[in-house]
Amino acid sequence: MRKRLTVSAALAAALLLTNPAGAAGAVGASGAGDVYYPQYGNGGYDVSHYDLRLKYQPATDQLEGTATLLATTTAALSRFNLDFALTVQDVQVNGRKARFAATGEHELEITPVASLGKGERVTVVVRYSGVPSTVTAYGFTAWQRTPDGGVAAGEPESAWWWFPSNDHPSDKATFDVSVQVPDGTQAISNGALVSQSSRLGWTRYSWRQTKPQATYLATLAVGRFEIDSSVTESGIPVTTAYSRDLGENAGAARASVGRTGELTDWLSTLLGPYPFATVGGYVPNTRPGYALETQSQVYYSPRIFSSGSNTSVVVHELAHQWYGDSVSLERWSDIWLNEGFARYAQWLWSEHENEGTAQELADWVYSSKPADDPFWTVLPGDPGPDNQFHAAVYDRGALAVQALRNAIGDEAFFTVLRGWPAEHRYGNATVADFRRYAEQVSGKPLGDLLQTWLYTAGKPAAGTAPALKAVTEPKSWQQIKATDTLHDAH
Residues that bind Zn ion (CB under 5 A): 339, 342
User: In the complex, which residue's CB is closest to Zn ion?
Assistant: 342
CA angle 98, 100, 102 (to 5 degrees): 165
| Residues in a beta bridge with 437 | none
Q: Whole-number minimum distance, CB 142 to Zn ion, in Å? A: 17
Smallest CA-to-CA distance from 346 within 388, 316, 304, 310 is with 316
Q: Whole-number minimum distance, CB 221 to Zn ion, in Å? A: 19
Closest CB to Zn ion among residues 47, 313: 313
Q: Helix, strand, coil % (nearest 5) of the chain?
A: 30, 30, 40
User: What is the full DSSP assignment across 19-53?
Assistant: S--SSTTEEPPSS---SS-TTSS-SSEEEEEEEEE
Smallest CA-to-CA distance from 170 within 406, 333, 21, 294 is with 333
Helical ranges in 1-130 per DSSP H = 9-18
Alpha carbon distance 193, 209 (integer Å): 9
Closest CB to Zn ion among residues 52, 314: 314
Alpha carbon distance 236, 263 (integer Å): 12
Closest CB to Zn ion among residues 40, 344: 344
Residue 473 has a CB neighbour count (10 Å cut-off) of 13
Q: Whole-number minimum distance, CB 299 to Zn ion, in Å? A: 11
Mutual angle of helices 336-352 and 311-319, in 10-degree steps: 140
Q: Whole-number minimum distance, CB 345 to Zn ion, in Å? A: 10
Closest CB to Zn ion among residues 34, 317: 317
Residue 317 has a CB neighbour count (10 Å cut-off) of 27
Residue 259 has a CB neighbour count (10 Å cut-off) of 18
Closest CB to Zn ion among residues 124, 342: 342
Closest CB to Zn ion among residues 122, 342: 342
Q: Is the peptide bond before 156 cis (omega within 30 degrees of 0)?
A: yes
User: What is the full DSSP assignment across 318-338?
Assistant: HHTTTBTTTBEESSGGGTHHH
Q: Whole-number minimum distance, CB 190 to Zn ion, in Å? A: 17
Q: Whole-number minimum distance, CB 342 to Zn ion, in Å? A: 4
Length of the chain equals 490
Q: Whole-number minimum distance, CB 482 to Zn ion, in Å? A: 14
Q: Whole-number minimum distance, CB 339 to Zn ion, in Å? A: 5
Closest CB to Zn ion among residues 342, 482: 342
Closest CB to Zn ion among residues 382, 484: 484
Closest CB to Zn ion among residues 193, 217: 217
Q: Whole-number minimum distance, CB 5 to Zn ion, in Å? A: 24
Closest CB to Zn ion among residues 186, 301: 301
Instruction: Name residues whose C-beta falls within 8 Å of residue 192's C-beta, 6 or more positions apart in sequence.
Output: 207, 208, 210, 237, 239, 277, 278
Q: Whole-number minimum distance, CB 335 to Zn ion, in Å? A: 9
